[in-house]
Structure 1
Amino acid sequence: MEINAYYNGYLQESQEVLGDMMDYGINTCSIEAEQFFTMFISSRVAEQFEKGNPRYIAGMSGGELAKEVIYKVTGKEPEQPEEFYLDKSPEYWCGWALAFYQWKTGRSFKKIYDIVSIQEILFMYPTHHEADIERFVATMDQLYAKRHTKTYLQQFRENINMSVQELAEESGLRLSDIIELEKNFCKIMHTSAETVFHLSRILGCNMEDLLEI
């Protein structure tokens, strides 16, 4: 059963907002594409957007959303006026398509961006922007399956230089259980919320960060 990120009644508007945000940040404000998207993530605006916070996915224009991202990161709000056109840019399509993919998969924007760069998505524009959105979804899923070679549990453990043995001792789980959680991508989805929460606290992340979605 597919579980989407938020109510689909907001989807069309959220796609348009994220598309306009990307267009404004990259084209109007002349911020490099990768830099602007990392600003979107680090500002925590992405986190609110992916959770379906109505203020962010429907209560602001794309330009307003971009301005909030830039202000949260730099402390300065851009003065460039919003100028959106009927002919949509590749950057608009990139945001529009990403909003759909995030909604459909429930993955965070950070998880998606860790696998596929904005430049790679922009390279898809000529072959994907006139096709059904499911073609983009299929391409992204293929890249995700090819590149996501370690469980998030293993990635976070390695990020803090903790051994499997140390994590087992710290968590109170058997070593074999930790090994199984790191080897079997589906295992974490059938683990108790209490255990996942405990592991996330040890690893310094959110519970959702460890889920293989």
Structure 2
Amino acid sequence: MNAYNELYLDDAMANLGDMVEYAVCTLGYAPDDFFGWFISSGIASKFENGNPKYVAGMSGVELADAVLAAVNMQSERHHQPHLSSKGREYWAGWILAYYQWETNRRFSDMVEYGLTLSVVMSLYILHEADVSKFVESADEIIQRNKGSRKSKLQLTRKARGLTQQQLSEASGVSLRMIQLYEQKQYELAKAQAGIVLDLAKVLGCDAADLIQG
């Protein structure tokens, strides 16, 4: 299911492309720094949900300025004239908007699993290919990084200084099941709610903190 109505897609892609190009090329911010601010500002989530004000009602320059204002990064560099060259920075924002719409992934999840703005810019060789080629490459990057990352259960357990055996004994969840969840052979998100709650109680965290993004 796509993220929002396709009627907004062309505007969303153009505006995100302009936003990235303006922030990086005109204002001089590092790509991944700025995209992190886009996410932390809360504007990314509004964009993901197809809020008309953000996907179509603001220009790319206005979006960038809104992001910077939201994270208190206003400076003398703002409000510089912007002449778009439609280069790799523009393409990176443009194609990320398409990918988010097509897959309904959150921008924060993309970044968490290695699809950073700088990585997307490095794929500029695909700019003349069909968008499906980028989708395929982006999916491969995310799946590869998902597979190589430790589970949240394992990270939380180790942070608490517990062995798998100790967690099993304290929670009542079998050692074998804990191993399977940590190896991501079984998805903890699909486990019975009681299992997740028992593990979270022992680990001193919310159940949601143990679920993979």
TM-score range for the pair, normalised by the shorter chain length: 0.7 to 0.9
Paired residue total: 207
Cα deviation, 1:149-170, whole Å, max 9, x if unaligned, reads: 2366437636964756787789
**Quick one: structure 1 residues 160 and 140, their matched pair in 2 at CA, closer, same or farther if it must change by over 3 Å?**
same
Match of 1:121 in 2: 120
1:79-158 matched pairs, under 5 angstroms: 79-81=78-80, 83-85=82-84, 87-114=85-112, 115-125=114-124, 127-148=125-146, 149-150=148-149, 153-154=152-153, 157=156
d(CA) in 2 for partners of 1:42 and 1:22? 15
Structure exhibiting the larger radius of gyration computed from Cα positions: 2
Question: Aligned-pair distance for 1:54?
Answer: 2.1
Which range is displaced more, 111-120 or 17-26?
111-120
1:65 corresponds to which residue?
Answer: 63
CA–CA separation in structure 2 for the residues paired with 1:211 and 1:16: 32
Identity %: 33
TM-score, length-normalised on structure 1? 0.76
Checking the alignment, whether the CA contact within 8 Å between 1:18 and 1:96 is kept in structure 2 is yes
CA contact (8 A) 1:200 1:210 kept: no
Aligned Cα RMSD in Å?
A: 3.5
Q: Given residue 79 of structure 2, which amino acid in structure 1 is its aligned partner?
A: Q
Helix, strand or coil at the partner of 1:74: coil
- The separation in 1 between residues aligned to 2:170 and 2:52, in whole angstroms, is 39
Segment drifting more, 153-162 vs 43-52: 153-162
Change (3 A) 1:16 1:159: farther
Match of 2:7 in 1: 9
Q: Secondary structure at the match of 2:71?
A: helix
Deviation at 1:191? 4.7
| Conserved? CA contact 1:28–1:80, under 8 Å | no
Q: 1:35 and 1:196 mapped to 2: Cα distance? A: 34
Q: Distance in 2 between matches of 1:59 and 1:25?
A: 18
Deviation, structure 1 residue 22: 0.3
**Which SS does the other structure have where 2:109 is aligned?**
helix
Superposed displacement of residue 18, structure 1? 0.8
Gaps of 5+ in 2: none
Name the CA shift for 1:34/1:190 in 2 (closer, same or farther; >3 Å): same
Amino acid at match of 2:108: K
TM-score under structure 2 normalisation? 0.76
Q: Distance in 2 between matches of 1:206 and 1:95?
A: 30
- Tell me, in whole angstroms, the C-alpha distance in 1 between the residues paired with 2:143 and 2:207: 23
**CA drift at 1:62:** 0.9
For the 8 Å contact 1:43–1:72, the answer to whether it is kept is: yes
Match of 1:183 in 2: 183
Q: How far did residue 92 of structure 1 move?
A: 0.7
